Structure 1
Amino acid sequence: MRMTPVLSRLLRYGVVGGTAAAVHIGVLLLLGQWIALSLANPIAFLAASMAGYLGHALLTFREETGGRQFARRWLLLQYVVNISVCALLPLLQAPTLVLVFTPTVLNALIWSRAARFSAKARQQERGQPPVLHADDLGLAEGVDAAIIDLAQSRRLQGASLLVNGPSAAHAVEAWRDLAEPPPLTLHLCLTEGHRLPNCPDLPTGFGSLLLASFLPWQRRRIAPQVSTVLQQQISRYRQLTGLSQIRLDGHQHIHLVPLVLDAVLDLASDESITWVRTTRESMPEGLSLRLWWRSLQTGGLLKWLVLQLLSGLATPRLRRAGLATNRRFAGVFFSGSMFGTAFRRNWETAYSSSEVDRASQPVVLIHPAIPDAASGMDQEAFQQSVAFFSSTNRQKEWTSARQL
């Protein structure tokens, strides 16, 4: 039987309140062995207040807060009010019921008020919607069909072209036929599909290229090959699209690896590279434990940690080089499963009222495809993508984007 929202809220409030009370008792008993109870009790009460402050924001009132903490002033207010009332009531010889229930009622009022302020603040923050972007245009007809469909319905504001993909030429033709084609981006691919005979030593794994970035002898050997592949794909991109200026990102975010980013920055001026994608991604708000577990299982959390670091290193270098980039991003934490609630939470988190310039607008990344998209791929050249696009999750991402 499904619980009503009121009953669910009361149950969550009780769980958090009980946990806070347990924290209070546990800390009090622990500290009471070494210091006077008159000193131990305020410390224990502070620990309980912090438990309630976090628990009510993240659990009880998560619909209002979106999974964010309350402003810290609410913790200070709750602590001061409760300490004052608990000290005053015994002096007034208040009845036992008043002593027991007054703090509970006060806490309910304080946290409810904090939740309303959080909801109001979140509403004020919402402004320009993020840019919905799809990767891997040109990888296969089933991928292209989903991306073109989203662009036709104007739900998609950009796509990245995999220039060495088997359907790249047909995909560009279909893109040109759109009434208002969104911007295209070069999807630099080093981990699969480049097949250049003069690059025999180029690693085909993200981890291998990342490791090579920190080994000087590897950098010297591999850097010229990275530059060769980049120039080949830029040339192919211009041949297919006729565009002179280059917006750039990377298949599996390979462009953020320091060794690869070096090549991008070295060629930026000569090749008219104007924009490079970064992946500074805020934690999605209001996630259930099930979604946290999904991200952990699929490796999204680990990817997120690595790419947060790499984007943090890349962003100041891009700015010094005069290249534009997005300021926010969503799509790594649930890479491979950006559908349903996970997609909605990422979309809501990416909203921003300050980034009105398109170059810096938040980017929400998806990998959509129609059913059986992997069957049309070059399975020898794109082995990693075959496994990725064989999942039904690609169809779910397409469906979630269509429901925007």
Structure 2
Amino acid sequence: MILRTLSTRLSLYSLVGVGAAAVHAGVLLSLGLVMPWWIANPLAFLAASLASYVGHAHVTFRPETGGQQFARRWFALQYAVNLTVSSVLPLALPGWLPTSAEVVVLVFTPTLLNALIWSQAAQFSLRRRTNRTSPPRRHADDLGLSHATNQAILTLAEEGLLEGTSLLVNGPVATEGAKAWSVLAAGRPTLQLCLHLCLTEGPSSAPPDLIPDLVDHQGHLHRSFGHWLLLSLLPPRHPRRARLVKQLGHEIDAQVRQFQAMRGEGPIALDGHQHIHLVPVVLDAVLARSSRFGITWLRSTDEPLPTGLPLRCWLQSCRDAGLIKWLVLQLLSRRARGAFRQHGITSNGGFAGVLFTGRMTGAPLRAAWSELASLRSPDHCTPSLLLAHPGAPLEQNIAQEGFTVSQPFAASPWRQKEWRALQALSVTPDECCG
């Protein structure tokens, strides 16, 4: 990295700071003519923050940013910190300080905080520009769910546009999907087939009389992600938890054996339908069986927030509850890290696919790919994972097979959009499109 001399950097920083102060003063004086000062000042401060955000990215820290904007999260952080400090600091100053000292504290405290924030933003930008690693692995969930899902996944794999998929062993066409994938894997040994543990829908793999609390009268699994999460909050010795955990073990055992029968023997990579494997009570049951069944890899959903996304994408994620799902799974993934290490389980170094679940096309796909491509996976982790759910138009009623939750998701035209987006995805992030 070519650094400017300290004097040049300070000069440019001061120049941008003076410009931002001028913007603050000009906007404040203008707005003060038409609104109260207590409203005008935060708005003027917002304009000044925007000026410094642009100025420092394009002038002061141009060697780090390459002339690109900082990630917008740094602008939000700088504005929030400055508003808070400007409001709280005058009240926190001791009364015995002389006036000159108060002025120095009030002026230079925000200045030092801003310098720290923009310096960190510059380093963040530099890491994103220089930490280009191998591209993330493209992964598709739900092989075996339907003929439409199988068609999309297998076609993408044939075209060399997928590195892995996850098999729903209780899916209506699981056997068909597993056999076709095995044929492809014979020519490409690096293709990964994971067990997609399913506990929320579809027919049970264990005999229903062994798991009466997990199935409905048709023998279909029916406990939701929320049910399993709430069960995890009960004490381990609570009678209800103990009863359901015993039945859970029967179902996991049955699905693992079904997976082995379809794929053959060997180490098992496991993830969960609706990420159910990360729910504490389920994760504990899986880890307790890891040695017996040779489970050596579990998926992490520790997803970094991507940069450069339009505001409309974030609003869409909020409407689709993507941010809430992301927050819950972030907490569960981070809780699981220690347990993974304790049991000698490896995992993916990065992940994308929760924030915009079911809508991994266009800007979200490009941003996720770019974000993962800039991450360095720890030595004990496999490459980052980009998750999507491609599918052809659905022509069967999978709700009749017990997949009532997945029926509207699989029937959505977004499945075809994700298929096309993965076909257009290039190994160069800037060239991919959706």
Task: Report the TM-score, using the length of structure 2 for normalisation.
Answer: 0.69
Which of 194, 198, 203 aligns to 1:185? It is 194
Matched, 1:21 2:24: yes
Taking the TM superposition and a 5 Å limit, the aligned residue runs for 1:76-225 are 121-178=127-184, 179-180=187-188, 182-195=191-204, 196-197=207-208, 198-202=210-214, 204-216=223-235, 217=238, 218-225=240-247
Deviations 1:70-113 (A, max 9, x none): 8x99xxxxxxxxxxxxxxxxxxxxxxxxxxxxxxxxxxxxxx99
Output the amino acid matched with 1:180.
R
Please state how far the C-alpha of 1:338 moved relative to its aligned partner. 0.8
Asked if the contact 2:198/2:273 (under 8 Å) is kept, the reply is: yes
The answer for the alignment partner of 1:37 in structure 2 is: none
Asked if the contact 2:390/2:419 (under 8 Å) is kept, the reply is: yes
Identity %: 40
Output the amino acid matched with 1:21.
H
List gaps (5 residues or longer) in structure 2.
1-15, 60-64, 79-117, 215-221, 426-434
Matched, 1:310 2:318: no
Aligned mates of 1:23, 1:314 — CA distance in 2: 52
Task: Report the TM-score, using the length of structure 1 for normalisation.
Answer: 0.74
Aligned mates of 1:113, 1:357 — CA distance in 2: 28
List gaps (5 residues or longer) in structure 1.
1-12, 34-40, 74-111
Asked if the contact 1:64/1:115 (under 8 Å) is kept, the reply is: no
Aligned mates of 1:208, 1:58 — CA distance in 2: 47
The answer for the alignment partner of 1:251 in structure 2 is: 273
Taking the TM superposition and a 5 Å limit, the aligned residue runs for 1:35-50 are 50=49
Aligned length: 340
Asked if the contact 1:58/1:286 (under 8 Å) is kept, the reply is: no
Q: RMSD value over aligned CA atoms?
A: 3.8
Deviations 1:178-224 (A, max 9, x none): 23151100000000114341212125100011001001223212111
Asked if the contact 2:203/2:401 (under 8 Å) is kept, the reply is: no
Q: State the SS of the aligned residue for 2:196.
A: strand
Please state how far the C-alpha of 1:225 moved relative to its aligned partner. 1.2
Asked if the contact 2:145/2:174 (under 8 Å) is kept, the reply is: yes
Aligned mates of 2:21, 2:405 — CA distance in 1: 49
The answer for the alignment partner of 1:392 in structure 2 is: 413
**In 2 relative to 1, CA 286–239 (structure 1 residues): closer, same or farther, beyond 3 Å?**
same
Please state how far the C-alpha of 1:339 moved relative to its aligned partner. 1.0
Aligned mates of 1:223, 1:291 — CA distance in 2: 39
**In 2 relative to 1, CA 295–45 (structure 1 residues): closer, same or farther, beyond 3 Å?**
closer
Please state how far the C-alpha of 1:226 moved relative to its aligned partner. 1.2
Aligned mates of 1:256, 1:116 — CA distance in 2: 35
Please state how far the C-alpha of 1:354 moved relative to its aligned partner. 2.6
